[in-house]
């Protein structure tokens, strides 16, 4: 899976690692318990992977990113986090298209539960920028102008792809990437906020609001029985009706059985 390279700069740090051509999209997530905005683990792993390739990797966010969350991303070792501030109803794909048009590598996190319904961004960006999308990325190894990408497959399988820029990579939250947290980096890093120009703002179509995740419904027992009653119900067979013949001769008993079989259409004579 590859795409033709389209880059205007040739500066690099190390062999085959372009400087300033890696952009990681980061955002704040809602904590499932407290509801407070926190750093997304998926985005943090993508940022850590990019910073391991180049310390000039760009961290970019669209929308609202509190300072506390931005500092958590800076603690990974980034020198700067750029925030394009816009309304929550703004389509991020339209806002990012002009920002990422000339970027060789775009990295995002792969959303997992409880962040349902948020995994569409890499595919929307790939369609808008007309570039391939590689999902479930575990590791990246530069090789000249290309990257050797290790991708996770179902049932624990792995495969390696040689990918040429430009491309969009969705890094898996299960990637074996260590996450550092440096207080010095968090305090020394710079948060650059810039309002998004109105020309790049496109609102989502209006519609009913749907919660990101609903509280699970607690299962309730249909009947309240004691443990002894439930045990008897499991080991005792319930009566299904019928007649018990304790008197009479063999002929009358055989006739009763035959009548029962004819009543339930089990015999036809």
The answer to whether residue 225 sits within a structural domain is no
The answer to whether residue 37 sits within a structural domain is yes
The answer to whether residue 220 sits within a structural domain is no
The answer to whether residue 258 sits within a structural domain is no
Runs of H (alpha helix) within the chain:
41-53, 67-74, 92-100, 121-129, 183-188, 227-235, 250-263
The domain of 136 spans 22-200
The answer to whether residue 235 sits within a structural domain is no
The answer to whether residue 242 sits within a structural domain is no
The answer to whether residue 67 sits within a structural domain is yes
Q: Virtual CA dihedral for 166, 167, 168, 173, nearest 10 degrees?
A: -120
CATH at residue 88: 3.40.50.620
Please state whether 77 falls in left (phi above 0), alpha (psi between -120 and 50) or beta.
left
Tell me the whole-structure pTM to 2 decimals. Answer: 0.64
The number of angstroms, rounded, from the C-alpha of 83 to the middle of its chain's C-alpha atoms is 22
Q: Virtual CA dihedral for 156, 158, 164, 170, nearest 10 degrees?
A: 10
Q: How many domains does the chain have?
A: 1
In the block, tokens 């190390």 appear at 14
Please list the pLDDT of the chain residue by residue as tens digits (269 residues).
444 444 333 333 334 434 348 999 998 888 888 888 888 888 999 999 999 888 888 899 988 888 899 999 999 988 889 998 876 666 777 778 888 888 889 999 886 544 444 567 888 888 888 999 999 999 999 988 899 999 988 888 899 999 998 999 999 888 888 888 888 888 888 898 888 765 555 554 545 545 555 566 666 766 677 778 878 777 766 656 667 777 888 888 888 888 888 887 888 87
Contact predicate 95/84, CB 8 Å = yes
């Amino acid at each position: 899976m590859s795409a033709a390279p389209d880059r205007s700069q040739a500066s690099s740090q190390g062999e085959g690692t372009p400087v300033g051509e890696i952009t990681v999209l980061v955002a704040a997530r809602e904590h499932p318990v407290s509801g407070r905005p926190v750093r997304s683990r998926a985005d943090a792993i993508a940022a850590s992977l990019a910073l391991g390739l180049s310390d000039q990797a760009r961290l970019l966010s669209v929308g609202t990113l509190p300072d506390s969350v931005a500092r958590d991303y800076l603690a990974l070792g980034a020198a700067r986090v750029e925030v394009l501030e816009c309304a929550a109803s703004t389509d991020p794909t339209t806002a990012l298209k002009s920002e990422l048009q000339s970027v060789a590598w775009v990295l995002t996190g792969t959303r997992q539960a409880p962040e349902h319904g948020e995994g569409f961004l890499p595919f929307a960006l790939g369609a808008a920028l007309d570039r391939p999308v590689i999902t479930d990325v575990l590791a990246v190894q530069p090789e000249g102008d290309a990257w050797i990408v290790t991708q996770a497959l179902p049932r624990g399988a792995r495969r390696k792809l040689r990918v040429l820029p430009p491309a969009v990579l969705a890094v898996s939250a299960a990637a074996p990437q260590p996450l550092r947290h440096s207080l010095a980096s968090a305090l020394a890093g710079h948060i650059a906020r810039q309002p998004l120009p109105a020309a790049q703002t496109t609102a989502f179509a209006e519609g009913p609001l749907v919660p990101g995740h609903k509280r699970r419904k607690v299962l309730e027992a249909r009947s309240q029985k004691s443990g002894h009653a439930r045990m008897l119900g499991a080991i005792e067979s319930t009566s299904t009706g019928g007649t018990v013949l304790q008197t009479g001769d063999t002929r009358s008993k055989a006739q009763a059985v035959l009548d029962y079989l004819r009543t339930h259409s089990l015999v036809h004579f």
